[in-house]
Structure 1
Amino acid sequence: MHKILANTVFLGKDIHFLTECHSTNDLALEKIRKRELAEGSIILTDSQTKGRGQRGNRWWSEPNKNLTFSLVLQPYFLDPSEQFELNIAVSLAAAETLSEYFPGIVVKWPNDILHLEKGKLGGILIENILSHKGIEYAVVGIGLNINQAMKEIPFATSLWDLTGKEWDRWEIFKLLIAKIEKNYVLLKKAEKKQLRQKYLECLYRVYENHKFDDGEVFEGEILGIDQFGKLIIKKNDGSINFYSFKEVKYL
């Protein structure tokens, strides 16, 4: 799983494959500081020993079973206040990719890919390097559960669990990178509205009444996300609330 991608224009033309790696995001950030990676470069590993999720959460993956990699982008055309637009483009691509193999795949704000009934299929961690120019680099870390049996892990699933068969990780990887590139080009062309609409269509629990916890348990309805990526929830008392990462829990 380390060939140059032929189905893309500029992503995946420089792939660094490691049989084992502590964290592809950490390694990518290190190589960027040494000026060893350009836009489109990918660090891919079969075994990530210290993978990280959002806000430092651990991400564990069984060796040789899943997709764990980091993609380097240079979204200089985005203002730092628009960082979540990249999250939209990437998470949408991940959901679209897995949806080609099994129905019921959604995006759970801010960075999880879920099956509606079976649980978490993967996650995305984007770390940005800012400069006076804006977003100089973005390291997009992606972990997707493909062939790992997740039955012992609560609220998690995989394509193997959902379908009962083993999948070609390289074929899924190629499709995913192509979809990321397509969405990234749309983002670069300022087609944010189009991407946001598609994102809203596959957003977990949108326009449904559910319980949440923001320090107090309440019922409300997700209305979408604001321009900065905050989750918008209308509580049953009629108030409109905006939440940043980790400020609200789904119950």
Structure 2
Amino acid sequence: MYKILANTIFLGKDVHFLPECHSTNDIALQLIKNRQAAEGTLVITENQTKGKGQRGNVWQTAAGQNLTFSLILSPKFMDISEQFYLNMMVSNSIRSLLVEYLPELKVKWPNDLVIPDCGKIGGVLIENVFGAKGWEYAVVGVGINVNQITGLPDRAISMKSMTGSVFELKELLQLLVTQIEQGYLKLKKRNLEVIRLEFERHMFQFDQWKSYQTEDGRFKGKITGVSKEGHLLLETDKGEKNQFGIKELQFLW
């Protein structure tokens, strides 16, 4: 069973462990609705049956082999227009830890962790709660494929499949949450441009000519960065400079 994390200031001091649940994000949102969650609350399960990803996708995971958890934050110090900075901070924090084991790890916009030419190893899904006064809560859902080898979805990999090593889940969780907490404290200090530049520097396919798909068809393009609102900035091979929202562009692996 997962216990209160020892090496953090406020994240993981209230732990809700469930042997099985459909989605840790949903549980966290329910805790907020019921006014049962303080900032820093951690919801974790050993078997997430209906984990959520971007675009309505399902995050598939094997019981007891991976990390699936959600953190409740209260970023009231930020404007609603700055939502994507939280996404970038969390992605940066996870990458900066896992790159110690996976040197080629990149962040695929908007929220995936991938190794080029190999596949996806994890992802982040943030769901927000807004009130009359602005941004009240953010539920940060994290899924990392750790020790699973068989039954992985198409184009998915795990830390074990890439390194051959078995990882202690509780220890890895402690390290990840500590890293996210440190990133969150930097966010509170308004180091927004530093966060954005780090995100861009480690982006999957950054400054490379690759193929992409929109509703208008396929084209060649080069990622040049992200906007403050979180749109992907991309230059086409025809010299056009465009920006795309999350559901407007598809990467062609």
- Could you tell me the TM-score, scaled by structure 1's length? 0.97
Report the Cα distance in structure 1 between the residues aligned to 2:116 and 2:236, rounded to whole angstroms.
22
Q: What is the identity, as a one-letter code, of the residue corresponding to 1:18?
A: L
Residue range with higher mean Cα deviation, 92-101 or 73-82: 92-101
Residue range with higher mean Cα deviation, 211-220 or 104-113: 211-220
Alignment check: 8 A CA contact 2:60 2:153 kept? no
2:231 is equivalent to residue 230 of structure 1 = yes
Q: What is the identity, as a one-letter code, of the residue corresponding to 2:155?
A: F
Equivalence for 2:21: 21
Q: Tell me by how many angstroms 1:144 deviates.
A: 0.3
Q: What is the identity, as a one-letter code, of the residue corresponding to 1:218?
A: F
For residues 141-156 of structure 1, the aligned pairs below 5 Å read 141-150=141-150, 153-156=153-156
What 5-or-longer segments of structure 2 have no aligned partner? none
SS in 2 for 1:61: coil
Equivalence for 1:204: 204
Report the Cα distance in structure 2 between the residues aligned to 1:235 and 1:7, rounded to whole angstroms.
46
2:10 is equivalent to residue 7 of structure 1 = no
Equivalence for 1:170: 170
Report the Cα distance in structure 2 between the residues aligned to 1:112 and 1:85, rounded to whole angstroms.
15
Q: Tell me by how many angstroms 1:117 deviates.
A: 2.6
Q: Tell me by how many angstroms 1:198 deviates.
A: 1.1
Alignment check: 8 A CA contact 1:48 1:63 kept? yes
Q: What is the identity, as a one-letter code, of the residue corresponding to 1:44?
A: I
Report the Cα distance in structure 2 between the residues aligned to 1:187 and 1:133, rounded to whole angstroms.
20
Equivalence for 2:218: 217
Alignment check: 8 A CA contact 1:122 1:143 kept? yes
SS in 1 for 2:233: strand
SS in 2 for 1:36: coil
Report the Cα distance in structure 1 between the residues aligned to 2:6 and 2:108, rounded to whole angstroms.
31
Alignment check: 8 A CA contact 1:97 1:172 kept? no
The superposition leaves residues 96-119 of structure 1 with CA deviations (integer Å, 9 ceiling, x where unpaired) of 121111211110001111012310
Alignment check: 8 A CA contact 2:61 2:152 kept? no
Equivalence for 1:239: 240
SS in 1 for 2:63: coil
Q: What is the identity, as a one-letter code, of the residue corresponding to 2:220?
A: E
Q: Tell me by how many angstroms 1:133 deviates.
A: 1.8
Alignment check: 8 A CA contact 1:150 1:161 kept? no
Q: Tell me by how many angstroms 1:237 deviates.
A: 0.8
The superposition leaves residues 207-236 of structure 1 with CA deviations (integer Å, 9 ceiling, x where unpaired) of 111111112111111001001000000001
Q: What is the identity, as a one-letter code, of the residue corresponding to 1:47?
A: N
Q: What is the identity, as a one-letter code, of the residue corresponding to 1:35?
A: R
Report the Cα distance in structure 1 between the residues aligned to 2:28 and 2:74, rounded to whole angstroms.
13
Equivalence for 1:122: 122
Equivalence for 1:89: 89
SS in 2 for 1:155: coil
Equivalence for 1:80: 80
Q: Tell me by how many angstroms 1:41 deviates.
A: 0.3
Alignment check: 8 A CA contact 1:108 1:203 kept? yes
Cα 1:151/1:49, change in 2 over 3 Å: closer
The superposition leaves residues 17-51 of structure 1 with CA deviations (integer Å, 9 ceiling, x where unpaired) of 11111110011101111110100000000000111
Alignment check: 8 A CA contact 1:25 1:139 kept? yes
2:14 is equivalent to residue 39 of structure 1 = no
Residue range with higher mean Cα deviation, 115-124 or 145-154: 145-154
Report the Cα distance in structure 1 between the residues aligned to 2:97 and 2:117, rounded to whole angstroms.
18
SS in 2 for 1:233: strand
Identity value in percent = 45
CA root-mean-square deviation: 1.1
Alignment check: 8 A CA contact 1:150 1:157 kept? no
Alignment check: 8 A CA contact 2:226 2:232 kept? yes
Report the Cα distance in structure 2 between the residues aligned to 1:199 and 1:129, rounded to whole angstroms.
24
- Could you tell me the TM-score, scaled by structure 2's length? 0.97
